[in-house]
Amino acid sequence: MPTASWNGHVIARSDDTVVVEGNHYFPPDSVDRALLRESDTRTHCPWKGEAYYLDLVGEGQALADAAWYSPAPKDAAAEISGHIAFGKGRDIDIDA
């Protein structure tokens, strides 16, 4: 089962992820939102649309822009609407 973890904490776990460009997008109800805080960072992808970023926070530590989601993706990426992906190689372990 795909799992995202950080500092020994499971952030997300689901058998229903969507893989896009090598990233697992986790359904919103599979993510521990207590470890996430909205970031001011936004980016634009020509085929997915706007991405909003989240910081990981916990135990006095923070990892800026560690996750992202697209609340209203373009039609080509509709399957990731509201799903959350985590940056690999940023002290986040993704076990698929």
Range from 11-15, 47-51, 85-89 carrying the lowest mean pLDDT? 85-89
Interatomic CA distance for residues 52 and 41, integer angstroms = 6
Find, among 23, 95, 30, 36, the residue nearest to 65 by Cα. Answer: 36
Are the beta carbons of 50 and 42 closer than 8 angstroms?
yes
Q: What's the one-letter identity of residue 41?
A: T
Burial (0-12, 13-18, 19+ Cβ within 10 Å), 87: middle
Q: What's the one-letter identity of residue 46?
A: P
pLDDT digits (tens, 9 = 90+) for 75-87: 999 999 999 999 8
What integer pLDDT is reported at residue 88 of this predicted model? 75
For 57-82, what is the mean pLDDT? 94
Domains of the chain by start residue, with CATH: 3-95 (2.170.150.40)
pTM: 0.92
Instruction: With residue 74 as reference, give the H or E element that holds it.
Output: none
